[in-house]
């Protein structure tokens, strides 16, 4: 596996381990507890990540991989991404530097059992891991796909970075919920 993708695989493993320790042993009530009205619970953070993977990230990554294969775009890197892509990755990473309102399609809606949300989170982690293996040898800069955000085309490598930074951001947000003084014991 090329170095950049191996680095992403390491980040994915770190996110998974951190999230596993964070969620381990929680009841449904703890997982769905909100620090204040309108603020997300831990369930909300992970459900948002699940919805984002399903609606935004994985379909776009799949399309960029298909584009690269169809056009025969291969390279071992290293890859350099646009200033805009690098800025978006930085602003979406943990700790949150800017706050954004999540699009409606990726906003968590209702309380859900920890086991269901967690199983889906692990499934999306596995799906991203598979995409990292599928992208091996492809040109991560020239493989591109239209972003769910209007008028923006993202390179495959930057889109993977964005997904990982987005996950780190919301795992940290979930950690902060669990560290709230009023968090139910």
pLDDT in tens, 60-102: 999 999 999 999 999 998 999 999 999 989 998 888 877 878 8
pLDDT in tens, 126-178: 999 999 999 999 999 999 888 766 667 889 999 999 999 999 999 999 999 99
Return the closest-CA partner of residue 100 out of 160, 40, 155, 57: 40
Q: What is the pLDDT of residue 149?
A: 63
Q: What is the DSSP string of 83-150?
A: HHHHHHHHHHSSSPSS--PPPGGGS--S---HHHHHHHHHHHHHHHHHHHHHTTTB-TTT-EEE-SST
Identify the DSSP state of 182. Answer: T
Residue 58 has pLDDT above 80, yes or no: yes
The contacts of residue 67 (CB under 8 Å, 6+ apart) are 73, 143, 144, 145
Q: What CA–CA distance (Å, rounded) separates 179 from 63? A: 38
**pTM higher than 0.95, yes or no?**
no
Q: In the chain, where are the structural domains located?
A: 3-178
Return the closest-CA partner of residue 139 out of 159, 156, 152: 156
Q: What CA–CA distance (Å, rounded) separates 50 from 170? A: 11
- Residue pair 166/90 in contact (Cβ under 8 Å)? The answer is no
Q: Any idea which architecture 3-178 has in CATH?
A: Up-down Bundle (1.20)
């Amino acid at each position: 596996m090329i170095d950049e993708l191996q680095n992403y695989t390491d980040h994915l493993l770190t996110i998974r381990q951190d999230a596993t320790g964070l969620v381990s042993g929680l009841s449904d009530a703890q997982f769905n507890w909100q620090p204040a009205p309108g603020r997300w619970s831990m369930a909300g953070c992970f459900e948002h990540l699940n919805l984002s993977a399903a609606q935004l990230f994985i379909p776009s990554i799949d399309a960029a991989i298909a584009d690269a294969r169809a056009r025969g775009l291969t390279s071992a890197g290293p890859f350099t991404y646009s200033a805009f892509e690098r800025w978006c990755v930085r602003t979406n990473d943990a700790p949150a530097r800017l706050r954004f309102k999540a699009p409606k399609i990726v906003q968590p809606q209702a309380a859900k059992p920890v086991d269901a949300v967690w199983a889906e989170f692990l499934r999306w982690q596995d799906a991203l891991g598979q995409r990292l293996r599928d992208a091996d040898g492809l040109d991560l800069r020239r493989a591109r796909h239209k972003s769910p955000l209007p008028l923006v085309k993202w390179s495959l490598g930057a889109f993977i970075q964005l997904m990982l930074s987005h996950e780190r951001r919301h795992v940290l947000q979930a950690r902060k919920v669990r560290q709230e003084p009023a968090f139910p014991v």
